[in-house]
Amino acid sequence: MKQFKRIMYLLFLAVATTNCHQEIIATTETGIVEIEKNDIANRSAVLVNDMDGDGCLDENDTHINSNRSATISIDGCDIGIPNSLVDCGTTMMDQIVDAIETIAIENVGSDENVLRKKFTRELSKLSYYWVKKRLISTKERSNLSGCGYRANFQQLLVLLDRDGDGFVPETNLGIPGGDCDDSNPLINPSAVEICNGKDDDCDGQIDEGVQTTYFRDADGDGFGTDEFVIACAMPVGFAQYSGDCDDTKETINPDAVEICNGEDDDCDGQIDEGVQTTYFRDADGDGFGTDEFVLACEMPAGYAKYSGDCDDSNETINPDAVEICNGIDDNCDGILDDEIYCAAVSLKNQLEQVSITIETLAGPDGKLFGSVTPLMVSNALYERGFDIDRKQITFPNVIKETGSYLVYVDVYRNVRANVSINVVPKEKY
């Protein structure tokens, strides 16, 4: 009988140490892992951490946020038991934390005594399993049980904060909860939301209030249309600024300089504002127009650069014309036939009707002893009844010989008379 028991014990140890697939699960036809109801040691390991459903934690099933502390510590009670791997990637502390989490979730509202009793019971099952796995001794199991009896379950809940940021995923366990990623200490309800594609503050929204608006920019000029996206970084084909009124031309945008081309270059809703030229209606084609005008980039046909034409049906009448005595305001200065001007014209006509003779000393060859001077002409005209100052008289050329010549008499502004003179030798007495 003793021999039979010895054989059965050896068979049990062989099964227990082969692999965890044989030891803790039974696979159904559907491939779903089933576990004994009272097997807390493996229920948490398989259900929580067996990612590929093979019933064993291996290199493909690393425990999420595995507790890799050097020794087992329960509410400050550390008796130096190494925190060994139990099944593949799961440590003994992983199984303890999983058990604490299961108890806390399944017993919300229970008092401390109930929670501590349940924990010590589950810890006893776990330690029994570890003894079977030869991970701890029976003495170490006994010491570990003492740690469990003395533990404050509420203090054990701190172990559920796997990333150590002060928050756990559950919100009803009496400690700060709501951690939406307990593998990242930078993500929790007290975190500041930053633009990184994650819900940093665990409010159910990603990058809310920290994203930037970017606008579709097809022509790459730095300005986009009203089409936009909200993102952390500017996507290709987008710009920081909107307001582009023609996203097919990079020369047209709110930062462009308006030029005269029939387009709204600077996207202010106006075309060629401030850069067009004023042209005036010029019906007679004399280069001066009336007050009727257009604004354009180029001068249209039938228009002129200048206004002020007082008779746009007569090309001889405009601000650039010479006033003549004709009863018309030829130069459009508002004055009909200026009296002084008309008197000057009359004097001009009279001067051009006379011919004066100037006697001066000359040699036999007709060369003068000197030259004719404006004073000589002025004196000769005075003898004919014309009081002309010598400063009004000019010669086309110097007169040094006898003969017939024309000299100029500037009677008035823009009024010049051509006076005929005959230079003859002076007789000797």
How high is the pLDDT of residue 51? 52
Distance from C-alpha of 148 to C-alpha of 121, rounded to nearest angstrom: 9
DSSP 44-64: HHHHHH-TTSSSS--TT-PPT
Length of the chain: 429
9 pLDDT above the threshold of 80: no
- Going 159 to 161 to 167 to 173, the CA torsion angle's sign is negative
**DSSP state letter for 238:** E
Q: What is the mean pLDDT of residues 42-48?
A: 43
Query: In the predicted model, what is the mean pLDDT of residues 377-392?
Result: 94
**Chain mean position to CA 119:** 60
Q: Is 106 helix (H, G, I), strand (E, B) or coil?
A: helix
Is residue 179 helix, strand or coil? Answer: coil
- Give how far Cα 172 sits from Cα of 137, 157, 421, Å: 37, 12, 129
Tokens at 104, concatenated:
């806390």
* DSSP code at position 73: -
Pick from 182, 217, 189, 180: nearest CA to 64: 182
pLDDT at position 53 is 52
d(CA 47, CA 42): 8
Task: Assess contact for 48 and 66: CB atoms under 8 A.
Answer: no
CB contact burial 321-337 (16+ within 10 A = b; e otherwise): bebbbeebbbbbeeeee
The contacts of residue 254 (CB under 8 Å, 6+ apart) are 223, 241, 243, 244, 266, 267, 268
The full set of domains in the chain, from first to last, is 2-160 (no CATH), 276-337 (no CATH), 339-425 (3.10.430.100)
- pLDDT tens for residues 196-246? 999 999 999 999 999 999 999 999 999 999 999 999 999 999 999 999 999
Rg of the chain over Cα atoms, rounded to whole angstroms, equals: 58
Q: Are 261 and 275 in contact (CB under 8 A)?
A: no
- Buried-exposed string 10-30: b where 16+ CB fall within 10 A, e elsewhere: eeeeeebeeebbebbbeeeee
CA 130 to chain centre: 63
Nearest to 74 by CA among 143, 5, 169, 1: 143
Q: Which of 374, 342, 360 is nearest to 402 (CA)?
A: 360
What are the tens digits of pLDDT across the range 165-198?
889 888 878 788 899 998 899 999 999 999 999 9
> What is the band of 319 on the pLDDT scale with cuts at 50, 70, 90?
very high
Listed in sequence order, the residues at least 6 apart from 104 whose beta carbon sits closer than 8 Å to its beta carbon are 115, 153, 157, 160, 170, 173
Q: Is the pLDDT of residue 367 over 70?
A: yes
DSSP state, 408?
A: E
| Gap between the Cα atoms of 242 and 235, Å rounded | 15
pLDDT in tens, 334-348: 887 777 888 888 999
